[in-house]
Amino acid sequence: MENCIFCKIVAGQLPASKVYEDDDMIVFKDIRPIAKIHLLAVPKQHFKLLSELNEERRALVGRMLEKIASNAPAFGLSEGYRLIINQGEEAGQSVPHLHIHILGGQKLGWE
Q: Binding residue for Zn ion (CB under 5 A) from 64, 81, 97, 102?
A: 97
Contacts of 72 (CB under 8 A, 6+ apart): 78, 81, 104
Shorter beta-carbon distance to Zn ion: residue 35 or 64: 64
Task: Decide if residue 7 touches Zn ion (CB under 5 A).
Answer: yes
Compute the least distance from the CB of residue 82 to Zn ion, in Å.
Answer: 24
Backbone angles phi and psi of 37, in degrees to 5: -115, 120
Q: Binding residue for Zn ion (CB under 5 A) from 46, 57, 63, 67?
A: 46
Backbone angles phi and psi of 67, in degrees to 5: -75, -35
Q: Which of 38, 46, 97, 99 is catalytic?
A: 99
Distance CA 51, CA 9 (A): 24
Contacts of 2 (CB under 8 A, 6+ apart): none
Task: Check if 99 is active-site.
Answer: yes
| Contact range with Zn ion by CB under 5 A, out of 23-31, 50-58, 74-82, 89-97 | 89-97
Task: Decide if residue 72 touches Zn ion (CB under 5 A).
Answer: no
What is the distance of C-alpha 47 from the center of its chain?
13
Catalytic positions are 99
